[in-house]
Chains A and B, each alone.
Chain A
Amino acid sequence: MDIVSYLNGFVEIEATGTRPQELLNRCAREGIRFRSCKTLDSYTIRFAIARQDEKRLHSLAKYAGCETKSIKRAGVPFFMFRIRGRLALFAGLALTLAVLLASSLFIWEIEVTGNETVSTAAILNALEDSGVQIGSFWPTFSSEQIQNLVLEEIPELSFLTVNVFGSRAEVIVREKTPIPELLDESQATNIVASSSGIITEMFVYRGVAAVNLGQTVLAGEMLVSGAPESEFAGIRTVHASAVVNARTWYELTAVAPLETTQKVYTGETKTRLALNLGDKRINIYGSTGISGAGYDKITKEHALAISGVFRLPVAIVAERYERFDTVTVLLEEEAEKKRLEEYLYAELLRRLGDDGEIIEHSFTWNVAHGAVYVTIHAECLENIACEQIMTQEDLRAIEFANETREEDPEE
């Protein structure tokens, strides 16, 4: 039956006669619309008509030689007729509607989106200071005022807007783009080696190379000097810049125990119920003897809400406790070894950065004291140039050298 029939109300009729189709022909001629006609046997049919045609049909049936009876009355008008005397029901419905309408004017759920580095808690605190919190009356909100207050409190944010959908507030924020670090060209720096290795390539953009191609350097050794010397101008300081590619060698070791503890659930579960009314919590349980240790707690909150439309400040909280025992289990050596190898390889790639690459690598491993030790031996190619700001002593030494040169120009 379609929705229109339900809204108008319909009656299911059972007609019995020698020629029940005659009744249908008369209905069609008289403009009585019927639907879903089924034949029960050769002499009986069942069909549905609109509720206002019921009387006319019964009188028409006499002329068609049929006996008719109404089997079922359904639809909105019949439902309304059945509940007409029940005042308490109507009052309850009206009260529920009033509560729903009133509750939709308050915020019961705040959702923050768009934040990456600023925590949601920090944004919620700032919103609370500006008057946006659970239970606040949203028609008094001024988006501009909230935006000003929150942006003043959290300078890392560049934009904030509050959209209210029923009793749910959606807070959209945008964070400021961090200002990129600018190269301070006036700062005197040298380039030193970040790792020991053999230099394979050098591109000096600013400064004077202090080492040669093919030379072995140690970590921290100066590669490019930021104090070039000129015959006429003496020693001046620059912000040295260079790319120095070198072959480097790494040896990293990782350890993992071959024994671990695992949870084994005993199957014993306990459930505690509580009622959340706004910020208040009412526990619907007595002493359950749950200490917390040896139990996993799974909390589910069933709020009185229509998802995305509105939410009431009432929720039933079900806390399910599952008891577990801990047992010691032995891990497979091979699996642990493989896991450590993958970890070490990934860790080495992370240390080399985007510019570096692993040319050759191998693993060694052994088991001792109930643990597996895995070591990666790798030859890599990477940029080992690392900026180092000149110390005050270095600068004073350069200044002193320049002064000496001025006093004794022949030297």
Chain B
Amino acid sequence: MDKKLTPLTELADKFDLPADALAGEPKVTITGTRRVMIENHKGLSELSHEHIAVKGRHVTLHIRGEELELIAMTAGEVLICGQIFSVELE
């Protein structure tokens, strides 16, 4: 996967600035094995017990696990709970 960096992401990288705030890149927080919080998302693209796909600005996050549940969702944040096996970037 060789994706070209956007100018804002490149700027954030060069000046060591937070990419989530500057370039609107998704920020993923994993707590233990049962909770994932995604900020700066762009909506859901897949939804099932075993797989939830969340779109970011230039990336799609695939959360795979068991008994996955969408606990809460706002325009900026998604909270997913369940037995999480992996979080993949595409």
Q: Do A and B bind each other?
A: yes
**Contact call B69/A36, Cβ cutoff below 8 A:** yes
Alpha-carbon distance between A47 and B47 when the two chains are bound, in angstroms: 13
- Given A21-B45, A21-B46, A25-B44, answer yes or no on A34-B73 (Cβ-Cβ < 8 Å): yes
**Contact call B44/A21, Cβ cutoff below 8 A:** yes
**Contact call B74/A42, Cβ cutoff below 8 A:** no
Question: A289 within 8 Å of B by Cβ?
Answer: no
Alpha-carbon distance between A39 and B73 when the two chains are bound, in angstroms: 15
| Contact-residue size bin, chain B (C-beta under 8 Å from the other chain) | 10 to 19
Question: A45 within 8 Å of B by Cβ?
Answer: yes
**Contact call A27/B47, Cβ cutoff below 8 A:** no
Question: B57 within 8 Å of A by Cβ?
Answer: no
Question: B71 within 8 Å of A by Cβ?
Answer: yes
A40 to B, closest residue via Cβ = B49
Choice from B46, B71, B75 contacting A28 with Cβ under 8 Å: B75
Which residues of the other chain, B, contact A34 by a CB distance below 8 angstroms? 72-73
- In this complex, how many residues of chain A approach chain B with their Cβ under 8 Å: the count is 18
Question: A277 within 8 Å of B by Cβ?
Answer: no
Alpha-carbon distance between A348 and B84 when the two chains are bound, in angstroms: 73
CB interface residues, A 8-62, toward B, < 8 Å: 20-21, 24-25, 27-29, 31, 33-39, 42, 45, 47
**Contact call A20/B72, Cβ cutoff below 8 A:** no
Give A contacts to B, CB under 8 Å: 20-21, 24-25, 27-29, 31, 33-39, 42, 45, 47
Provide a sorted-by-A list of 28 A–B residue pairs whose CB atoms are within 8 angstroms: A20-B47, A21-B43, A21-B44, A21-B45, A21-B46, A21-B47, A24-B70, A24-B73, A25-B43, A25-B44, A27-B73, A28-B74, A29-B43, A29-B75, A31-B74, A31-B75, A33-B72, A34-B72, A34-B73, A35-B72, A36-B69, A36-B71, A37-B47, A37-B69, A37-B70, A39-B48, A39-B49, A47-B70
Give B contacts to A, CB under 8 Å: 43-49, 69-75
